Structure 1
Amino acid sequence: MTNPDPKAGGPVGSPAAAAPMRVLEKQIYRGPNIYGYEPMIRFQLDLGALEQFPSNTLPGFTDRLVALLPSLQAHGCCYRAPGGFIRRLRDGTWLGHVAEHVALDLQTLAGTRVTYGKTRSVKGQPGVYNVLYSYKEERVGLLAGVVALRLVQSLLPPELQGIQGLARLLPEEAARLDLDSPFDFQAELGELRRLVRKFALGPTTQSLVSEAERRGIPYLRLDDQSLVQLGYGKYQQQVRASITSKTPHIATSTASDKDLTKRLLDRAGLPVPQGVVVQTAEDAVAAARRLRGPVVTKPLDGNHGRGSR
């Protein structure tokens, strides 16, 4: 879950020639993966000049971070005991590892508790790290990564601030967050909480998911409403509120929703056509231009080609 301890001592390198942090890529794992059994987000972070500045070389960094997020004191990190992560901060750890813990803590503060993460250096690329952390709601997890990086950056000396590529992580549902504006902790935590409320499961579905968690049954949310998969592979079952896949209702309603069907097939690795759901003629024209080439319009819920153009 952690990087090796940096060597003790002051910073090396020149802040005047500071290269900013950069988010190079992202990947979303929606089930078991090579890093763990639960859904995770991975983003690749190039620390730039900050590779030469572990946390113990940044005066006041740890104290300011803990003042903003006192709940970080509960993180055990590699010591597996409360206070372990704070010990790592004071001994010195790199900022990709810090962003991992902050992204986890922000999700918990927003109302979706998660605890598992890890940060590993990328072989052959000095200063580049794979930052991984678990999530309950994908869009909340992505935004937590954005806010975590902005928070970490805001605590750095001015000459070391700067981050590129954040838009790679920003979910569409949080587009109103201005990445060029100064960091506002309460406002950005509030945006995370707004997304949690917007995509919260209904009471019936949530009670089933909570019981599945209690029994150690993994689950995946499959749409923005209440379609949830319990278990993996041949053992999986689906529920939508109180309806289960033991009846044909879920399969029928899913097949009637072209966008949901396409997303589920895409997640399974099957080829699907490019497309987008639009509400107005103007949106349809703009989407057609982005897709480039002949396009077909279809009703979201229909069959036998009725309504297709």
Structure 2
Amino acid sequence: MKSHNTVRNERAVGPMDVREATIYRGPHLYSQTPMIRIQLDLGTLEQYPTNRLPGFAEKLTRLLPRLDRHGCCYGEAGGFLRRMAEGTWLGHVAEHVALELQNMVGADVARGKTRSVAGEKGVYNVMYAYQDEEVGLLAGRFALELVGSLLPPELHGVSNLEKIAVSSLDAFDLAGGLDVLRSLHRDRAFGPTTASLIKEAEARGIPWRRLDSSSLVQLGYGKHLRRIRAGCSTLTSEIAAEIASDKDLTCKLLHEAGLPVPRSFIVEDVPDAVRAARRLRFPVVTKPVDGNHGRGVNIGLVSDEEVTWGFLQA
């Protein structure tokens, strides 16, 4: 499955030009792994592989030192640096930079490939894995901006970057770009329940994809397809979901069924919370009575001050 962000335009002025960006959300022509594809026209930079750009590889690896872990086609640490020393094209470099930027902000991605477009000299499909679409797209834009910033002044410039993603930065710099990516990654991170289910799905070889900006996730395809949101699935009844959201009622029903549950108290203000914590004995946990996704939950609180903070967070 794929989604086109943009349509192809005529060649714009500038050494590099983004023609289009596509999101592959399932198995596709190039891989079984969900990927982002950026079609990139190198323009005059087709004449400048990395071994013809003095100092480029050194500047890039100073900024992104963990590129030395990328195996590339050699399948071992240092493989990508070896490719840059031998001479590889900037689309391939952007692929690795997009992966590394995602890893630097907490994603775990490794797969990518860059292939020339048949019959179009200097045009490449730059493809790389992603965990979150928005983070992945923005990482692709920032990768091209970073690569472009390290080129000689006469070769600067990347046209049509907005076809990949819109940036909130007035001018790109690596520290600012990482801050934006880190914030976006944090805002779009799954809650602990959903993250655990996705991890287990991956361990079992079950494909998944995110369906919205919160936690609605599709597992599998076709007749085996299921949708989940946190601990609920398409098989979960409405009444079960309502009970699970009510922590006090959940504990009561589990206790009546003979299952062990922790002692707990419902409190309505800070002094009440502190008194309850002292009765239970530290360490304690605070959480909202009615909630989900682990929001407002704080564990291992060991003092009156921490309980006060935990109550206010809940």
Global fold match (TM > 0.5): yes
TM-score with structure 2 length normalisation?
0.70
* Residue from 33, 44, 47 that aligns with 2:42: 47
Partner of 2:176: 187
SS in 2 for 1:45: strand
Alpha-carbon separation, structure 1, partners of 2:94 and 2:189:
25
Between Structure 1 and Structure 2, how many residues are aligned? 228
Partner of 2:73: 78
Partner of 2:88: 93
Partner of 2:169: 177
CA deviations on 1:29-78 (whole Å, 9 max, x unpaired) are 11111111121111110001100000011011111111111111111100
SS in 2 for 1:229: strand
Whether contact under 8 Å (2:18, 2:40) holds in the other structure is yes
Q: Which amino acid aligns with 2:169?
A: L
Whether contact under 8 Å (2:17, 2:43) holds in the other structure is yes
Runs of 4+ in 1 over 2 A off after TM superposition: none
CA deviations on 1:120-165 (whole Å, 9 max, x unpaired) are 1111110000111111100000000010000000110111111101
Alpha-carbon separation, structure 1, partners of 2:215 and 2:14:
44
SS in 2 for 1:131: strand
Q: Which amino acid aligns with 1:165?
A: N
What displacement does 1:247 show?
3.2
Is 1:202 the counterpart of 2:191? The answer is yes
Whether contact under 8 Å (2:34, 2:129) holds in the other structure is yes
RMSD: 1.7
Which entry has the higher C-alpha Rg, 1 or 2?
Answer: 2
5+ residue gaps, structure 2: 1-12, 239-314
Q: Which amino acid aligns with 1:193?
A: R
Superposition pairs for residues 2-151 of structure 1, below 5 Å?
19-151=14-146
Q: Which amino acid aligns with 2:207?
A: P
CA deviations on 1:169-188 (whole Å, 9 max, x unpaired) are 115xxx4223xx2x311110
Whether contact under 8 Å (1:38, 1:218) holds in the other structure is no
Alpha-carbon separation, structure 2, partners of 1:131 and 1:176:
23
Q: Which amino acid aligns with 2:201?
A: A
Alpha-carbon separation, structure 1, partners of 2:202 and 2:216:
16
Partner of 2:229: 240
Whether contact under 8 Å (1:146, 1:170) holds in the other structure is yes
Partner of 1:13: none
Partner of 1:229: 218
Alpha-carbon separation, structure 2, partners of 1:122 and 1:194:
35
CA deviations on 1:274-309 (whole Å, 9 max, x unpaired) are xxxxxxxxxxxxxxxxxxxxxxxxxxxxxxxxxxxx
